[in-house]
């Protein structure tokens, strides 16, 4: 049996087969050899993620009111080294990934990742997953907290995350790498 996040004793490192064998109503990830599973997001979480993605796709994927040139993907399965991560949203510049892979997962690191924080995933998202994103060279990382109505934007600088801004409430924001347009935070809650 693979190690799960709630196990005390390590039996063996989790494998991709453990991800495939996870119940279909759960998100499964492997972080540092441990299988983490959690239920699909709650409504506040799903709304924030969906609204942000909807606001980014037209200007950054299709060039409608923005520069275009991005792939914006909901809950992509990322294979980064031995780790299998599923962020809420991720984005790739098309010059780095001209077309999506034909596999069910992505091996090219994203240029931007957004994690929507939930009580059950907050520690993992802001801890080990954040470290893996830095290790792999993801340029930008956003954390959205739908309960606190906050967005934190980070940029990778010399393998360390630098906080660019923390915005709250209903502000309109323009943050890298999507600073070509304004995003209304009120749309996320």
Please give the domain boundaries of the chain with CATH numbers for all domains. 1-40 (no CATH), 41-74+87-188 (3.90.1570.10)
The answer to whether 36 touches 66, Cβ cutoff 8 Å, is: no
Where does residue 58 rank: exposed (0-12), middle (13-18), buried (19+ CB within 10 A)? middle
| Rounded CA separation 78/125 (Å) | 14
pLDDT of residue 8: 35
Looking at the chain, the number of H-run helices and the number of E-run strands are 4, 12
pTM of the model: 0.90
> What confidence score (pLDDT) does residue 33 get?
94
Torsion, Cα 36 37 40 42, to 10 degrees, reads -70
Low-confidence spans in the chain with pLDDT less than 50: 6-10
* pLDDT attached to residue 6: 46
Per-residue pLDDT of 74-114, as tens digits, reads: 999 999 999 999 999 999 999 999 999 999 999 999 999 99
> Which pLDDT value is given to residue 2?
56
Predicted pLDDT of residue 9: 40
């Amino acid at each position: 049996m693979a190690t799960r996040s709630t196990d005390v004793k390590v039996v063996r490192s989790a494998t991709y087969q453990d991800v495939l064998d996870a119940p279909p109503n759960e998100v499964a990830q492997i972080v540092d050899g441990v299988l983490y599973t959690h239920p699909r997001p709650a409504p506040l979480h799903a709304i924030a993620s969906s609204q942000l993605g909807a606001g980014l796709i037209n200007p950054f994927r299709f060039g409608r009111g923005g520069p275009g040139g991005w792939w914006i993907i909901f809950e992509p399965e990322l294979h980064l080294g031995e780790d299998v991560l599923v962020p809420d949203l991720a984005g790739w510049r098309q010059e780095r990934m001209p077309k999506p892979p034909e596999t069910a997962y992505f091996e090219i690191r994203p240029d931007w990742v957004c994690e929507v924080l939930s009580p059950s995933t907050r520690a993992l998202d802001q801890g080990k997953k954040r470290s893996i994103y830095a290790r792999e060279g993801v340029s930008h990382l956003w954390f959205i907290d739908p309960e606190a109505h906050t967005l934190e934007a980070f940029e990778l600088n010399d393998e360390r995350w630098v906080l660019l801004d923390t915005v709250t409430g209903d502000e309109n924001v323009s943050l890298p790498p999507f600073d070509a347009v304004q995003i209304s935070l009120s749309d996320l809650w």
